[in-house]
Structure 1
Amino acid sequence: MSVRKTSLRKQADLICGVAMSCGLDACKEAANGRWKKDLARLAPVSLARPAAAFLAGTVLSGVAGMAHAQEAGTVGPHMFSSTQVIWSSLVLGALGAALLSAVWLVRQRGNMEAETQDMRSALSDAQQRISKYEALIADKNRRIVVWESGYSKPEFLGQLPAETGAPQQDRDFLAFGRWLRSSSAIELEKAIDALRGEARSFDLVLETNRDEILEVQGRVSGGKAFVRFIALNNLRAELAELKIERERLTHSISLFHSLLDTIEQPVWQRDAQGRLAWVNHAYSDAVEAKVPTQAVDESREFLGTIAREKIRAVATANSPFHDRISTVVRGNRTVFDVVDVVATNGSVGIAIDVSEAESVREELKRTLNSHAETLDHLATPVAIFDGERRLQFYNQAFVQLWGLSLPFLESRPDNSELLDKLRANGKLPEELSWRNWKESALSIYQALDTKTDTWHLPNGQTLRVIATAHPRGGATWVFENLTEQVDLETRYNTLVKVQGETIDHLAEGVAVFGPDGRITLSNPAFRALWGVTADETKPGTHIKAIEKACAPSYDEPDGWRHFGQMLTNFDDERASIQGTFELYSGLILDYAATPLPNAQTMFTFVDMTASARAERALKEKNEALQKADELKNDFVQHVSYELRSPLTNIIGFTDLLKTPGMGELNERQAEYIDHISTSSSVLLTIVNDILDLATVDAGIMQLNYSQLAVDELLDDVAMQIADRLHENTVTLEIIAPKALGTVFADEQRLKQILIKLLMNATNFAPEGSAISLNCWRDESNVFFSVTDRGPGIPPDMLKTVFDRFKANAKGGKRSGAGLGLSIVESFVTLHNGDVSIDSRAGQGTVVTCRIPVGSRARSVAAE
């Protein structure tokens, strides 16, 4: 602003000076029209236009007056001379112009100072808000990576503790495979791809190579993808470690189960309650189950109840059970050598077939055991008392029902004693007269018919007790558990009420129709969406009436009519249908017709208006972004082409001027021609670099892969860089072993990589020094390293050394556009390689590129 004011003052002074220095001849020229044209050309339009007009008018009026006087012959000795008139006019015009200019400048200066003060205040407020937000987001235990939509670079906020092993550099942080466990890195990369591509959120717990636990959360908001890395500590870290340890133990158990599945002996595992938790294939074959899971789900026992109870009673943690037990396998009685080990959370057992050793057992004993096992397998509790009213037999269901100990039952208690025991344990109903109730229950021993009674136990169970007397004394007691039946009835009644309340409070519209096409129920949301009343949708209303009531809300001929056809068709299999209604009110409803049992059909209607509008907005925004990206690519290509053509002409004509046939140039002309040639070449290089980067960003760069001899490649690069080395008085030292072989790469791009690195090193290398190009290889990669002894790169600039237009001109002979290293990184990445920089202030810089030897050709470049 101050420069502009100074320029305006100079222009005003120039006008005044011209006006004061003009003589009579100038006034005559002004009379002829030339002075006015010269004065308008000298004065800037924005400042001196009023002054110039005033000055020109004054001069012209004076000249015109003098001319008129001369023609009339009235000029006398006492009149003003023409010179005095002109000088007076000039002085007055100059003073008026200067006064107007000064007033205008003072006013403009005041306005500009006020605007500058407002802008400084707004800038200060914005910087304070940015600092506050960055302080709120940044956290030493948390790092956030933000991706804009499309193929933009990510933004990083915050840092993770160094003990986690997470890189502090932004470009290294996204290389998850280097600092995360391989399984965690693969899982995280898949989750990020789904987040950016499909907006699918995720929550993960990952493990670093240093055995640290990280919690990673992925979300999408405002068209941006956010991935937050949180370093866990204290209880949360312990919980995550326990989760990972649980997964490891689960994997170990799975391997152990796979091993046991391969052996031919039945193996089983039980939980703390004695229920089957896992069996192998030999076990499932023994119990005639198709798969082991079927045997577990159906609780198919391999051993009999008595055998299992014996194992449970005998086996302890210090003394495993080991005995021979017979059981039925595929219809054949088989004897097994059973080993059962008890632990705190269950037991595990294995059975070895020893039937051949037990083939001499008596058939009668087997028959008796089979009879006992048959009763023992009954789900209904059974107890048999002999003629002395002592317990002779009981099954496992009886033990589970009453919870009596095996030693007590094996002591063969009396029936009366058993009832007293159950009453003492609080297992029998509380009766006002216990003696009368017990006598009534034991009267079965003198009864002729079966006696049935209902017991309501204190624990909430309901039993139907069936007692049958034996012809020769004794009785059989059967306890049928009715608890589930009563519970089911209660649950059914409750479910009907809950179902009604739930459907009434759903946000989705629900309507259920019977096979006759009449509605059985509907909720308020259904009536609100379609604008119908409760009377119009009361139970028993035919779908035709509802179709008529809903018809004014939409304009689709096959809407509710299609529903009616679905309800009344005679197909064996009724298929579900889905679709969308767009109502006159602007609502967009997704509907679904689902067949229900008993030939009923449920129709659901969901208001998707907001989602549909959001989807349309996102599609429109996506199309706009795609068009903007295409416009950018077209613009870069067009501008690059339009710049390249005139630059090529400039370079060609410059080289032509250097030829002797065009005539000799003096020393200064030759120097200017050299400057033009050098600047044009640099500008052409920048244009080519910009075009290459635009091609990479657009994903359309193609690499022409071929087998290249590394030795020949180094020689070609050395020849192409020779002029630049000579110009900067720097020597090149190539360090490479003989017979480096070949590399599968793009020759042009690989040369461009090496030339960019050597030119960068030459620019920063001291005069008279040497730069080195070191090349070596291993089994799968070729390495190129360029070293200079320049001033090095400061640590704060290492983070942005590969960024575009981030040139470090400090210490260099030439300042560039800052695209060289960015192009190097892009081309190396296209070859599936990587670039690293090692630099220290005052000690030089080493840039190393790794190119895979057998890389497959990538047809099109990606981001």
Structure 2
Amino acid sequence: MDISATTWVLIGVVLGGWTLAALAAIYLASRATAQVRDARTGLKRLQRMLDESPALPLLVRADGRIEASPRLAGWLGLEELPTYLAELGETDRGLAPPQAEQLQEAVRRTQKTAAPFDMIITPQGSLRSLSLRGQLADPQVSPGGAALVWVFDFSDSESELARLRDEAQRARGDFAALVGLLEAAPMPMWFRTNEGDIRLVNSAYVVAVGAKDADEVVAEQIELVEPVNGLAASHVAREASEQRLPIERMVNATINGQRRALRVSDLPLGEEGIAGYAIDVEDMEELSRSFKAFRVAQRNMLDKLSAGVAQFDANHHLIFANRPFQRSFGLTFEQMREQPSFSRWLENARDRDRIPQVRDYPAWRKEREEWFTSNETNEESWTLADGTHLRIFAQPNPDGGLLLLAEDQTEQLQLSASQDTLLRTRTATFDSLFESIAVFRPDGRLQLWNRRFAADWGLDEEFLDTHPRIDELLGLIQKKLQRGDKAGQIGDVVRAATLDRAQGVGRANLSDGRILEFAGVPLPDGNGLLTVLDITDTQKAEEALRARNAALVEADAMKTRFLANMSYEFRTPLTSMRGFAELLETGIGGELTDDGMAYLKAILDSVEQVESVLDLSQSEAGMLPLVKEEITLAPFLENLIETRRERIEGQDIQLELKVAGSGARIMGDDARFSRAVGHILDNAINALPEGGRILVKLLDRKDGTRIVISDDGEGMDAITLARALDGLMVSADGKTVERRVNYGLPLAKRIVEAHGGNLEIMSEKGQGTAVIFDLG
């Protein structure tokens, strides 16, 4: 079949169209591929930028599932992110449960209300600080009400903020401490503006100027220092600010009504102002004046010493020499006024033969000049040409000077020359004494003795000439004693006198019947003196006196028993007298006149005094009868006080009863115990002036009960207090009983002791008296 040309053209046209279509499709496909490749590259770039950004997104879907970069897991301290938001707080890492709950609640609120939120979290076990900013996610990001949370890591910023906060806190603390330090400073301090106006003062300034507070000082510009030579304190401050230099001056100011010397300083502080402070140097000035007065008094005192004293300053010049020193070395008034140097003074002394004769004088002088730099006191003996002996002491001073003392020992040497004569005289005196004497050195060796010592102990003098030790002597003395073990007592006395510097006494019975009494006495030179006295005859006389004294004691006991028995016989008529007197006092015999009542009161007081003496005599004889019954002390004391209420109120006396443990009870005689406590209470009332105070305390103790009666009266001195509790005493003539004004205290003591207790008095003149009853 023949195909026409037209057909072939059409076929060519179709094939060409198909070719063009294929080429267009290939072009479009390659272009789309390039666009996809570019989009993928951009997406990777954005993902990389997102991973490297300081903020990471966290997408929380409506069902609680979360989507985020694995990098966020590292921020939260997790190996990988969980699937749901609630799982962030279920492990010991990640968020703490409270933070996880707070985050869930914030996300839930954002999903429902589209309200954004901000919060800061710190993962567990991490120092990282994360800031969360949540908002509702755009539907293009995640439809369905998801929440998008951006997580920012601001740990470095938080650390910097924390550091800055700490620095600010420290700065505030330092400023507060500085202000407190200035406020607590004992010296007045202030701060001025550059114009000289007072801006700030401390409390010491306010007190110094007598102002009410610092605001008043600033408002009224009250100056501490008054103008000097027409210049006010503000002018001086401005001058310091202009010169940029501190100005310090000494001024006088009136502080608290007293004129005080002040050292005032104004310190410019650049553009801030001028600070100032004032130091009270009045004490230093007073100390300086006192030091000058002390130096004058010291030199006046040195002039009165017998030893010569000279003072050289740090430049080796003689600044002072007392009169004995001037006489010893022939110093004239002109020389003292010139204040010669040490070497010049030695030259002048050499010219007058007031220093020793030496072969090499320059070397000798150079050695003496080294005294100024020596670290210890130098001591020398100078023998002068005229026979004078001087003892020289050179004491270097801390300021580089020298204190030189010259003691004339000529007379002492002359006295020592006669020492041998004195020693011989002492030996002769020792030998003529009636007592035995021996002197022992601190090492226990016998140094001196007299002949009587050898005779009393039966010792050989040739043996004593060897100066034996005390233990060797005791070996021989032991054979002379009735009991050899008593020899050690002699050694103890000697050791106490020599080593312990204490006196000791003892007694030794010899085998021949003699009795020796010995004593050890420490001597000023460190030795010990042993004196021995034969008391055989004295001991026999003492035994005779002791037997006689025993007879006298027995006679005195018989007399006391007789007195106690007679006291018992007197009690019946005294009781009748008291009864009739009390009846008359009640008016049973008719109304009495004032004089009659006074006589009746005198009778009752006399009966009370006699009964006190009778009870005291019976108690001292141990024959005081007691009728014991149970006594409740709280109402007992209240009753005693109530019976004396009229006297207490009449004298305007304040009486206070304090009871600690109202159930305290004792077994005792109610009448006599009332008399004992009543006497003490009456004494306190009588001793007080109007307006005085008495305190009565009742205290329970583990071992019994205590009653304390104290007053704020005049009290008693030591002598009166020592005699207050004495009972019946024989008078000075030995024939009668000593009369006393008041037997209340000794009677109260005897009654308390009869009840098995104890009474103690504490008193001091001008401080009052306290009486303490301790009852078992």
**TM-score normalised by the chain length of structure 2:** 0.27
Structure with higher Rg: it is 2
**TM-score normalised by the chain length of structure 1:** 0.25
